[in-house]
């Protein structure tokens, strides 16, 4: 079956316009930010594919097998006092791809104007992949410690707002640089569309507040982390992801990661992959970093990155969003309603993809996904 790259709908100037004008972002869990606080934008990024500005990430020769085993799921949930259904949620949020795993069984899979071979744009779900690459590089001792300053690996950031800031504070979105995701990321995207290297923009960032003192969702942090991966390992980011994550995790299809004019991967926004491979990434974390019996991601890193990283925001780990309460669930999330949700309690992974740029409510998404996971467990 022919592979579709669904981002053909969002090309060049159209994406720049969206980035500049679409300021309605996605809501975060209630415990992560005060309900009245500004909601961070899970950013739009330039679709630079027209200029061929992307790298391919090759799949595994022995993909993790996902077996189709459809099951009737009757999913209802209560949100803000109203009873809602999964069908309504998927329609209302303009879902184009939806996959539910019970272990390696695909119990629900559906597509609208897409198919199982469609490559969806990850948007900020990419941040969780970048966190994984950091964790592997740390385990390999390519990175000495996440308490190292970023300038140990990127000396060109000396004198910038990142000077002296720890890798840990980038991972937990507490870098201290003066940044407003709603207004700054569209500027970065438009500048990148004009051919300006994002690395040079990172070097122009200034200090706005004390690092490690509060949460501020900042996509530039994730770009810097991807650069650290490349510099610390001596391997281009996309090749490191291919060798250390994509292939050993048993991905089935070729993916692409967009890059800027300097050839640096946009590790904060721009993976293009199938929903089944996004689900395999969730399965990797569901199984504590193991795939096909091999420890791909250190188990200690899986735990560290999916537990609260700071007292000032218990709803965020190290580039993973965390569910509230005691369920231990977590998810990668991106602009417009892209999700990889993992429920260790129920052994379930949920992936949701859309090409919509409209606002979505992450609180409701979490509620819906929890209801799906509970229904999968009930009908097992």
- At 241, list the tokens: 């992801």
Q: Is 220 a residue whose pLDDT tops 70?
A: yes
Domain contains 71: yes
pLDDT at 42: 34
Q: Is 25 a residue whose pLDDT tops 70?
A: no
SS3 177: strand
- The boundaries of the domain holding residue 143 are 6-378
Residue 312's contacts (CB-CB under 8 Å, 6 or more residues apart) are 174, 213, 214, 215
For the ranges 12-16, 105-109, 242-246, 313-317, the lowest mean pLDDT is seen at: 12-16
137 neighbors 315 (Cβ within 8 angstroms): no
Q: What is the mean pLDDT of residues 192-218?
A: 96
Domain contains 274: yes
Which of the pair, 11 or 271, is modelled with greater confidence? 271
DSSP-derived secondary structure for 249-305: TT--S-EEEEB-TTS-B-TTT-EEE-HHHHHHHHHHHHTTTEETTEE-S-HHHHHHH
**CA torsion, ordered 41, 43, 44, 47, to nearest 10 deg:** 180
Domain contains 1: no
Domain contains 367: yes
Per-residue pLDDT reduced to its tens digit, 94-145: 999 999 999 999 999 999 999 999 999 999 999 999 999 999 999 999 999 9
- At 296, list the tokens: 């791909």
Domain contains 325: yes
Strands (E), the chain: 54-57, 67-68, 76-79, 82-85, 97-102, 105-111, 120-121, 255-258, 271-273, 290-291, 294-295, 321-322, 330-334, 338-343, 348-353
pLDDT at 359: 78
Q: How many structural domains are present in the chain? A: 1
- Nearest alpha carbon to residue 35 among 245, 301, 324, 350: 324
Q: Is 76 a residue whose pLDDT tops 90?
A: yes
Which of the pair, 369 or 49, is modelled with greater confidence? 369
Q: What is the mean pLDDT of residues 164-176?
A: 98
Q: What average pLDDT does the structure give for the chain?
A: 88
pLDDT at 20: 33
- From first CA to last CA, the distance across the chain in angstroms is 31
Provide the CATH number for the domain around residue 117.
3.40.710.10
pLDDT at 48: 35
* β pairing state of 330-334 and 321-322: antiparallel
pTM tops 0.75: yes
CA 353 – CA 293 distance, rounded (Å): 28
117 neighbors 274 (Cβ within 8 angstroms): yes
């Amino acid at each position: 079956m022919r592979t579709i790259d669904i981002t053909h709908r969002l090309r060049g100037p159209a994406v720049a316009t969206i980035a500049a004008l679409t300021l309605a972002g996605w809501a975060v869990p209630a415990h992560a930010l005060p309900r009245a606080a500004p909601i961070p934008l899970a950013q739009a990024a330039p679709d630079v594919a027209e200029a061929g500005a992307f790298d391919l990430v090759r799949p595994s020769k022995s993909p993790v097998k996902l077996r189709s085993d459809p099951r009737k799921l009757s999913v209802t949930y209560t949100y803000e006092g109203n009873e809602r259904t999964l069908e309504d949620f998927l329609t209302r949020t303009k879902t184009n791809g939806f996959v539910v795993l019970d272990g390696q069984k695909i119990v629900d899979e559906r597509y609208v104007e897409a198919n199982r071979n469609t490559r969806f744009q990850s948007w900020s779900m990419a941040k969780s992949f970048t966190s994984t690459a950091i964790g592997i590089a740390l385990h390999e001792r390519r990175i000495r410690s996440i308490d190292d300053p970023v300038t140990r690996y990127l000396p060109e950031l000396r004198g910038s707002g990142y000077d002296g800031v720890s890798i840990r504070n980038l991972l937990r979105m507490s870098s201290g640089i003066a940044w407003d995701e709603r207004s700054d990321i569209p500027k970065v995207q438009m500048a990148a569309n004009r051919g300006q290297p994002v690395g040079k923009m990172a070097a122009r960032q200034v200090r706005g507040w004390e690092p490690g003192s509060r949460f501020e969702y900042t996509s530039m942090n994730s770009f810097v982390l991807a650069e650290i991966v490349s510099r610390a390992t001596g391997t281009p980011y996309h090749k490191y992801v291919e060798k250390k994550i994509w292939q050993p995790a048993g991905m089935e299809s070729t993916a692409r990661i967009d890059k800027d004019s300097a050839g640096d991967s946009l590790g904060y926004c721009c993976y293009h992959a199938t929903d089944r491979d996004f689900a395999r990434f969730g399965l990797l974390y569901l199984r504590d970093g193991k795939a096909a019996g091999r420890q791909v991601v250190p188990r200690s890193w899986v735990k560290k990155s999916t537990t609260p990283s700071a007292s000032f925001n218990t709803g965020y780990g190290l580039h993973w969003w965390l569910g509230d309460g005691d369920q231990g669930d977590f998810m990668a999330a991106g602009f417009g309603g892209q999700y990889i949700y993992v429920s260790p309690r129920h052994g379930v992974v949920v992936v949701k993809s859309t090409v919509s740029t409209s606002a979505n409510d992450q609180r409701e998404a979490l509620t819906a996904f929890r209801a799906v996971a509970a229904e999968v467990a009930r009908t097992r």
